Amino acid sequence: MVDLKIVEEDEKSLKVEIRDLHLSIANAIRRLAISEVPTMAVEEILIIENTSAMPNEVLAHRISLIPFISDIDRYVQPEECTCGSKLGCDRCVVRYVLRAEAKDEPITVYSRDLIPEDPNTIVKPVSPNIPIIKLAPKQRIEMELYVRVGTGKKHAKWQASIATLYDKDGEPGKKILFIESIGFLPPRRILLEAVKIFKKKIEELKEKIMGELGG
């Protein structure tokens, strides 16, 4: 029966040795680790003011690419939330504001300048040092950001990890699954979520096929 062993691990990546598991299943886990493990990023931006040289949509796109440390135990994808509200509730949205202004000297705005509405939230940019925009004197930006849960298949900004699967050198039957986290979640959590999603999908597949077959 299937056996898993961690052969290498650090805070960003994980190498798991897999034995006695069908190649197709190991590959499904790999694909789910890339495209279906939920993570959090800015999905919507309300621009109140932007007198910078960067157009609204370019600025919004840049901000949306910042990975946020993701609390997927508390937050759910908006489509799965019970609130049904477009604005969202405390289970499907984390609000941030970004206000910056250059006085007499040019400034660079970084991810650390994003201010959460709830100062105690653990959902925050993975690094404080991601540059967002440069502002020349007298330029100003002000916006509200809505951080939501999503998946890589919806948009690549939510892609949880890079994952590869290969044969172990000189040891037939053994495979290595390598998962490198983008930073949203620890690599072990990504593996766990991918397997949970796989199981859920198999349950759904079985239920639907049995239902159609009638019995």
Which residues would be at the binding site for other proteins (CB under 8 A)?
1-6, 16, 21-25, 27-29, 31-32, 35-36, 153, 188, 191-192, 195-196, 198-199, 201-206, 208-210, 212-213
> Smallest distance from the beta carbon of 92 to Zn ion, in angstroms?
3
Q: How far apart are CA 105 and CA 215, in angstroms?
A: 73
Nearer of residues 92 and 100 to Zn ion, judged by Cβ: 92
Could you give the C-alpha distances from 188 to 11, 122, 126, in angstroms and in order? 9, 19, 17
Residue 146 found at the interface with Zn ion (CB under 5 A): no
Residue 83 found at the interface with Zn ion (CB under 5 A): yes
> Smallest distance from the beta carbon of 154 to Zn ion, in angstroms?
17
Which of other proteins, Zn ion, none does residue 5 bind to, with CB < 5 to 8 Å depending on kind? other proteins
| Long-range contacts of residues 78-83, Cβ cutoff 8 Å, at least 24 apart | 78/43, 78/148, 78/149
Which of Zn ion, other proteins, none does residue 92 bind to, with CB < 5 to 8 Å depending on kind? Zn ion
Query: The sheet that has 3-9: what strands, in order across it?
Result: 3-9, 13-19, 174-181, 161-167
> Smallest distance from the beta carbon of 193 to other proteins, in angstroms?
10
Residue 92 found at the interface with Zn ion (CB under 5 A): yes
Nearer of residues 89 and 122 to Zn ion, judged by Cβ: 89
| Residue whose C-alpha is closest to residue 193's, from 53, 56, 29 | 29
